[in-house]
Amino acid sequence: MSDRAASNANDPDAGSTHARPVRSAVDHTHDPDLRSWVASANDADTDFPIQNLPFGRFRRADDPADAPLRIGVAIGDRILGLSQAGLIDHDDMARLMALPVAERRALRHRLSAGLREGSSEQSRWSAALLPQSRAVMALPCAIGDYTDFYVGIHHATAIGSLFRPDNPLLPNYRWVPIGYHGRASTVGVSGNDFPRPCGQTRAPDATQPVYGPSRRLDFELELAVFVGRPSAAGTPVAMADAEDHVFGLALFNDWSARDLQAWEYQPLGPFLSKNFASTVSPWIVTMEALAPFRRPFARPAGDPEPLPYLDSAHNRTQGQVDVELEVWLQSAAMREAGIDGALLSRSNYADAAYWTLAQMIAHHSANGCQLRTGDLLGTGTLSGPQPEQAGSLMELTRAGRQPLQLPGGEQRDFLADGDSITLRGRCRRDGARSIGFGICRAQVLPARAVLPG
């Protein structure tokens, strides 16, 4: 069966003609009373109930390391292989992500119908289920380009106050979505640990820099925005169409070496301080799944309204997405003692972000830059308005001047070797089934052989 045929099945709207793609909306697939014949999907605490249905890529744990990746959907503690279930005739994630919005919605309807209690597909699809514990997850898609934005206004203000107390937020921030181009080759999936980065640093009282391992390694709590439908080269994406180019969201940790960053970032911005590792969760939660958790976008009183190319009626009425976010740290000593971890921070994407998904897409393409399927846009650090809601150690410890107390008597100003950081995300709303993002976790390993200084 082709992916178009599979996605059209049982969806009366799939073949209709629209002046523009059908925007994701709340429908019967979000019914909080829906239950699945996959029993674990009905657990109250699962991230992956039938109302979610996120996409990822995997191999079976007993497959060879070079075995082709399969496309799966998370349902409870299981993975439904889409090609094995006959829902698509390929395992090309880019092809699936680039589907028009109406066809993506139809595929979601087909999945929801086949996985709900009483479905006639249960006997056939059961053979396509795999326990998540027996899967090896890969990056959710092949990532072409990676752009990191700076949409978290509380983070931008807090960082600015450390270095420019009299002028923490630069004047362009409220007018233009700030971003820089990152390094896609070092984005890894959750569970891929990485060595401490090395580079140049210079002490305040030194006359020349030295080369060696970073001493001020930090995490950054972010979301990853994955591009689905590509845009045409030379053609800006209008705000009214911008979200139709977003396939979905995942958790994202953009690790940062703050001491390397302080020395290298002027005049062109971060380089080795950011390009050594970023970590993304393995499941993309689709825009369709997020429909019940939208909220209006509004600027604080007294702030300028966005320029017209960054404004739309849809963005004003439901441009923001409610995602509750958490950061957990587990040290090597905590791991040895059987302590799961210490909660460092809680925040919410909608409260943290000054710019929306649509505004990121519209601005990125405003000069004709082509967006391609699989491109990743990082939101930037999503700190809440209160100091304890900070999304980085740079903020939580005031640049290391106020170390955190951890269970067992340890302290942290910045990350130590053996520390792991876990990000979690969840969407909740009265009258809706809560959904989650899984976890985004990686551990800091000791630096590898250091080049001569």
Confidence of residue 453 (pLDDT cuts 50, 70, 90): low
Instruction: State how far the Cα of 82 lies from the Cα of 86, in Å rounded to an integer.
Output: 6
**Does 453 map to a domain?**
no
**Does 452 map to a domain?**
no
Residue 144 in this model has a pLDDT that exceeds 50: yes
Q: What pLDDT is stored for residue 23 in this prediction?
A: 59
Q: Are residues 185 and 133 in the same domain?
A: no
Residue 449 in this model has a pLDDT that exceeds 80: no
Pick from 69, 102, 137: which residue ends a domain? 137
Q: Are residues 95 and 191 in the same domain?
A: no
Q: Yes or no: say if 154 and 89 are a contact pair by the CB < 8 Å rule.
A: no
**Does 113 map to a domain?**
yes
Q: Are residues 40 and 86 in the same domain?
A: yes
Q: Are residues 306 and 387 in the same domain?
A: yes
What is the number of structural domains in the chain? 2
Residue 90: which CATH number? 2.30.30.230
**Does 271 map to a domain?**
yes
* Structural domain of 128: 3-137
Residue 13: CB atoms within 10 Å: 13
**Does 333 map to a domain?**
yes
In this structure, what DSSP letter does residue 403 have?
P
Render pLDDT for 403-420 as a digit per residue (tens, 0 to 9): 999 998 999 999 999 999
Confidence of residue 187 (pLDDT cuts 50, 70, 90): very high
Tell me the whole-structure pTM to 2 decimals: 0.94
Catalytic machinery residues? 155
Confidence of residue 13 (pLDDT cuts 50, 70, 90): very low
**Does 363 map to a domain?**
yes
Q: Are residues 103 and 208 in the same domain?
A: no
Pick from 137, 170, 194: which residue ends a domain? 137
Q: Are residues 303 and 422 in the same domain?
A: yes
Residue 8 in this model has a pLDDT that exceeds 60: no
Q: Yes or no: say if 57 and 92 are a contact pair by the CB < 8 Å rule.
A: no
Chain centroid to Cα 226, Å, comes to 8
Residue 22 in this model has a pLDDT that exceeds 80: no
Pick from 137, 172, 199: which residue ends a domain? 137
Q: Are residues 153 and 281 in the same domain?
A: yes
Residue 350: which CATH number? 3.90.850.10
Q: Are residues 315 and 175 in the same domain?
A: yes
Q: Are residues 270 and 253 in the same domain?
A: yes
Q: What pLDDT is stored for residue 452 in this prediction?
A: 75
**Does 190 map to a domain?**
yes
**Does 451 map to a domain?**
no
Q: Are residues 236 and 371 in the same domain?
A: yes
Q: Are residues 304 and 238 in the same domain?
A: yes
Between 2 and 69, the more confident residue is 69
Concatenate the DSSP letters of all residues of 47-98 into one string: S--TTT--EEEEEETTS-TTSPPEEEEEETTEEEETTTTTS-S---HHHHHT
Helix (H, G, I), strand (E, B) or coil at 420: strand
Q: Are residues 82 and 154 in the same domain?
A: no
Q: What pLDDT is stored for residue 17 in this prediction?
A: 35
